[in-house]
Structure 1
Amino acid sequence: MSSKEDLINAFNKSASDKEIGEKRTNDDIKEFQEQVRGLINTMVEWLEGTPVKIERSESIINDVTTAPKTYSIESVVLSNDNKRITFSPTALYLMGSRGEVEIKYTGINRNLKCNLYMRDSIGSASEPGVWSLVDGNDRRNNRRPFTQDVFYELVTRIA
């Protein structure tokens, strides 16, 4: 094989690798969108029969971890009077995790910070399909599976 053929093959491989990477990213974005939608559907089911007001919305997020940099994804606000919890997807690719949903409280006395991760490989890695909750600033030592009971603990803060 000549040097020119080697050069052409290198460019072809580079283009192929780029296409594979773009497809993988698009597939990951689609999975993130579906997992967030499923998470919100589950939360809505768990809240049936409660006085919590549920506001779902679709928004465009600017995600610096992906190309394309923007895509649409669902979010939800749970409220009781002037107290609210907002679940907002923020990024797909993170160090040690994939698929971040930020949890913000408003209208309560304490400023609480929590995040959910679709796939978590820090500490005891999460099972597929089970979101991990990271509560507070101790990200390494304060992780647990996001279950119905854990969800109710979060929602109790707006009672």
Structure 2
Amino acid sequence: MNPKAQFMHQLQQHEDEKAAGKKRLEKDISEFQSRMKALADEIKGWLRDIPQVTVKVEQTTLVDPTIPANLSPQEFYQICTILVTAGDRSLRFKPTCLYLFGCTGEVELEYRGLHSAPRYKAYMWEPNVPAGKWALIGLEQNKSAPQELDEAAFFNLLSRLIR
């Protein structure tokens, strides 16, 4: 293959890889958005019969520094946040980024109204939790192993709002 043909082949290969990366990015953002909506619906279902606790879901613009500049001219997208309130205390599920250290879809859990609140993050994909399930990781001194964010884990998180 002559140098010009080799260059043309490499150029086409680069363009194909870039298009595939852009398509994967769009798919990952869409999945993050839909998984956050599904999590909000699941939380509402868990709290259905508890009138003292409210759930508010709001759309927000996430400025995401993990979006590769060569795949998207914009580093932001719309996604929902979830606010669970009990009295004067709350727990917010706040998306922070799409990609981070081998995980996908990072969500910071923020307690409000507590003097010393534990720190947690959730991930929509984490290699140690079954596919399609949210992973919950504690960020205190002895960082906890990932566990599934299921109904029991959720109520353990929520119990801090009434202590």
Tell me the TM-score normalized by structure 2. Answer: 0.89
Alignment map for 1:1-159 (pairs within 5 Å): 1-50=1-50, 51-66=52-67, 67=72, 68-121=74-127, 125-138=128-141, 141-159=144-162
Displacement of 1:60 after TM fit? Answer: 0.6
In 1, distance between residues paired with 2:118 and 2:76? Answer: 27
Contact (CA 8 Å) 1:136, 1:142: kept in 2 or not?
A: no
Q: 2:97 corresponds to which letter in structure 1?
A: A
1:92-151 deviation per Cα after TM superposition (whole angstroms, max 9, x unaligned):
111031111110001012122111111112xxx110111111113357543211110110
1:58-113 deviation per Cα after TM superposition (whole angstroms, max 9, x unaligned):
01101111144101101111112210111011111110311111100010121221
Contact (CA 8 Å) 2:129, 2:146: kept in 1 or not?
A: no
Contact (CA 8 Å) 2:135, 2:149: kept in 1 or not?
A: yes
1:7 counterpart SS class: helix
2:49 counterpart SS class: coil
In 2, distance between residues paired with 1:12 and 1:139? Answer: 48
Query: Runs of 5+ in structure 2 lacking a partner?
Result: none
Q: 2:55 corresponds to which letter in structure 1?
A: I
Aligned residues: 156
Superposed structure 1 runs of 4+ greater than 2 Å apart: 136-143
2:132 counterpart SS class: coil
In 1, distance between residues paired with 2:7 and 2:121? Answer: 46
2:109 counterpart SS class: strand
Tell me the TM-score normalized by structure 1. Answer: 0.92
Cα RMSD for the two superposed structures: 1.5
Percent identity between matched residues is: 26
